[in-house]
Structure 1
Amino acid sequence: MTRSYTWLIATLPLFTAGAALAQPGAPEKTEVPAKTQVDPLMQKVLDAHKALKPKPFHTLTPEQARKGPSATDAVKSLMKKEGKSTTPDKTGLAKVDDTTLPGPGGDIPVRIYTPEGQGPFPVVVYYHGGGFVVADLDTYDAGPRALAQQAKAVVVSVHYRQAPEHPFPAASDDATAAFRYVQENAAKYNGDPRRVAVAGESAGGNLATVVAMQQKEARRVLPVFELLVYPFLSNDVNTPSHKANGQGNYFLGNQDIAWFWNNYLGEGWKTNKDPLALPLLASTDKLRGLPPTLIITAGLDPLKDEGTAYARKLREAGVKAELKNYDGVTHEFFGMASVVGTAAKAQADAASALKNAFQNVGVGGSGDADLPRSDLDMKKAK
């Protein structure tokens, strides 16, 4: 079941609840909601993951965690069991290239998905998840691949330096550098520099909206749209969705979330208030003028409430923000369309939102009038 809430312009993660610190701007503390029934297809993936005997992230070193079985491994295991090919789907794609972009700490690995047809195409700069610590372009291949296929856009999937070897702000610095390079060199990839969006899953959703904030702060060209899939936005793990879904039954538990934040932000993660690390703490002024945004949440995700709260904060800042929650599924569901029907629905909804945004560049939006949104606008502003 899908619930959609749309707000128009101007009208609109520690260990126990007792130990967690509430942060300003964090989701409201309400009663713990009734648990959502797990979608039967989602349960198959959870069972497949359990069969791989994973160990909780927080019990491992980062090096060990990077080698452990992922949700993607579970999906592939299930696909093999069901007699499905695990070869990535190339339908509608002219090519998929692995290359690098220049970054502040060295070359940034990227994977570029180019649709069939004639360009220039709109562009999506996508950031994968993994709590800023684990995962890579292979782990998160299905999501950006589907967006390229369905939105008919060039999708540049960006890797980034990971913690704890490279703590904050290394990931956000790489993310911002990659966006700026792609935007300024879009034609090199048969892309349209005036139609460049940002997207990301989990920690990647954090990076996507941070990139938009960084662009606004530097008075540079904004993305035309933000797609934030179960974004990782807050260090408060005392929300109802954390209480209900954070016991480690759905890929990601509250202790794992604390482990991720500790690796990314250090021992002081519980009291960190930097909005470029924790976007839910951003002020209204910092959010005002950001691009139209779609936030996707999962009903069984500990992060559900922070995604909901961020949509609310964007609305309060005058940003056009839409929230879509998908019941019965968990964190990481978005890339599971090959085995989970709800994921296919979410991908289609995301692609539709991107296509609409690309078709309406310069129409509507929510930015301050003096914030340039394209290269041509930038020239006019000079």
Structure 2
Amino acid sequence: MLHGCARDPEKHSVSELAVSGTKSMLRTDADMQKVLNKYASFDAKAVEKTTPAEARMQPTIADAVKGVLADEKRDSTPTVLVPGITTRDITVPGAAGSLPATVFTPNGAGPFPVVLYFHGGGWVFADRKVYDGGARGLSKQANAVVISVDYRLAPENKFPAAHDDALAVYRWLTTNASSVNGDPKRLALAGESAGGNLAVATAVAAHKAGLTAPRHVLSVYPVAQSSTDTESYLKYADAMPLNRPMMLWFISQVTNTPADAKDPRIDLVHANLQGLPPVTVINAEIDPLRDDGAQLETALRSAGVSVERKVYPGVTHEFFGTAAVVQKAQQAQEYAGERLKADLAK
């Protein structure tokens, strides 16, 4: 297991917001805490007490980042925050119809390697626009085209709808990468949270289907197993912005029966992971899903897959897309870009 940089005590503050109900106090990076403070100021309703429709209207960590930038009188325009990336919206074929997607393209002639990226949100809410920061940052750091897709959401489209969409889009990409100035021989998969699960699950499904293999899989704080009783789930049960009650709510919205949670597309640590390309797992320290990443790393190693995992101290779930204001997020995006570039360049 690889870990992030050591903490600088002068750059951390004791956080009652990152984890509000635990006995032990956690030290959160000051810049991460600033985002959490802004997020808390929105006074949003607890997700587990909302309907999916209400949850989709709630403020996000992306909104908190914009709020911090506004407080600091900084420009929040994405092209200013991450220069050198152009975007265009397209539609791509999902498993049951067309899906909206955004193509992020770095400056240059191409063709570029292509990263298919899946956003987070527990398979229930959020979209590619909420997760613009992560996808845009990856395009910059990996010098690759990134396609961020809006797969179908639960509960309107329960499991395995999102997984079916993810595989359908990847199947399309294997023969249509040139349409986005991409190289069909240099493909990768990436995602955050629920999307981190989709990235690995899609690699497994692509291998099983005999599709062109991705060169690399980036899985950022993924959902990787079905138990909510791990050490990190219990330690960070009240964490912000993701906590244990929220995860239980997500599971109830996504699954048809308890058996769905045990399906290897969700329960990745019990999937057949043999034959996968190199995988990078990124975790936040203050996150119920931290141990999901650890279990996934162990399962991948047991399957003979090359894997690196980094845990970033002092930050929480959703930190990856906050690079405009959080230093560890910038570091994580740079690390992810290096890992992707190394395999996509071969």
Report the TM-score when normalising by structure 2. 0.91
User: 2:48, 2:121 → 1: CA distance?
Assistant: 13
Q: Tell me how far 1:281 sits from its aligned partner.
A: 2.3
Distance 1:317 1:333 in 2: 29
Aligned equivalent of 2:56, options 54, 66, 72: 66
Write the distance in 2 (CA, Å) between the matches of 1:309 and 1:350. 20
Give the 3 Å change call, closer, same or farther, for CA 355–35 of structure 1 in structure 2.
farther
The answer to whether the 8 A contact 1:92-1:116 is kept is: no
Q: Structure 2 vs 1, CA of residues 158 and 61 (structure 1 numbering), >3 Å: closer, same or farther?
A: same
Shift of 1:267: 4.7
**What do residues 232-283 of structure 1 show as CA deviations (whole Å, max 9, x unaligned)?**
1222111111111121x311111100000111113526x732101221222x
| Count of aligned residue pairs for this structure pair | 328
> SS at the partner of 1:69?
coil
Seen in structure 2, the aligned counterparts of structure 1 residues 36 and 322 have a Cα distance that, compared at 3 Å, is farther
1:48 match: secondary structure: helix
CA contact (8 A) 1:108 1:159 kept: yes
Q: Note the residue ranges of structure 2 that are not aligned, 5 or more in a row.
A: 5-21
**1:52-74 deviations in Å (ceiling 9; x for gaps):** 01111100000000000111111
Partner of 1:293: 279
Matches within 5 A, 1:34-45: 36-45=26-35
- Contact kept? 2:79, 2:85, Cα under 8 Å: no
- Mapped to 1, the partners of 2:231 and 2:342 lie a distance apart of 33
How far is the alpha carbon of 1:104 from its aligned partner? 2.0
Residue aligning to 1:25 = none
* Alpha-carbon distance in structure 1 between the residues aligned to 2:60 and 2:93: 29
Q: Which runs of 5+ in 1 are unaligned?
A: 5-31, 361-382
1:139 aligns with 2:125: no
* Corresponding position of 2:226: 235
Distance 2:24 2:3 in 1: 16
Deviation at 1:105, TM superposition (A): 1.5
Matched, 1:281 2:270: yes
AA at the equivalent of 1:250: M
Q: CA contact under 8 A between 1:33 and 1:241: conserved in structure 2?
A: no
Higher strand content, 1 or 2: 2
Q: Is the 8 A contact 1:204 1:231 kept in 2?
A: yes
In structure 1, the residue matched to 2:146 is: 155
Opposite residue 115 of structure 2, the aligned amino acid is: V
What's the CA shift for 1:92? 4.7
The residue identity in structure 1 corresponding to 2:175 is: E
Partner SS state of residue 329, structure 1: strand
1:23-38 counterparts in 2 under 5 A? 36-38=26-28
Matching residue within 300, 314, 325 for 2:300: 314
Q: Post-superposition shift, 1:216?
A: 1.1
What is the SS of the residue equivalent to 1:236?
A: coil
Please name the residue that 1:3 is paired with.
Answer: 3
Q: Measure, in 1, the Cα distance between the counterparts of 2:34 and 2:305.
A: 38
* CA 61–240 in structure 1, closer or farther in 2 if over 3 Å, else same: same
- Larger RCO (CA under 8 A, 6+ residues apart): 1
Secondary structure of 2:314 counterpart: coil
Report what 1:215 is aligned to. 206
Deviation digits for residues 284-330 of structure 1 (CA, Å, limit 9, x no counterpart): xx111111000000000100001011011100100000000000000
Specify the alignment match of 1:324 in structure 2.
Answer: 310
Matched, 1:99 2:90: yes
Return the letter of the residue paired with 1:338: A
Give a deviation string over 1:312-366, Cα, whole Å, max 9, x none: 1100100000000000000000000111111000000000111111123xxxxxx
Deviations 1:98-156 (A, max 9, x none): 11112221111100001110111011000000000000111000001011112110000
Matches within 5 A, 1:1-382: 3=3, 36-89=26-79, 91-93=82-84, 95-247=86-238, 249-268=239-258, 272-282=261-271, 286-360=272-346
Separation in 2, partners of 1:213, 1:33: 40
Query: How much has 1:36 moved relative to structure 2?
Result: 4.2
- In 2, the alpha carbon distance for the partners of 1:35 and 1:122 equals 43
| TM-score (ref. length: structure 1) | 0.83
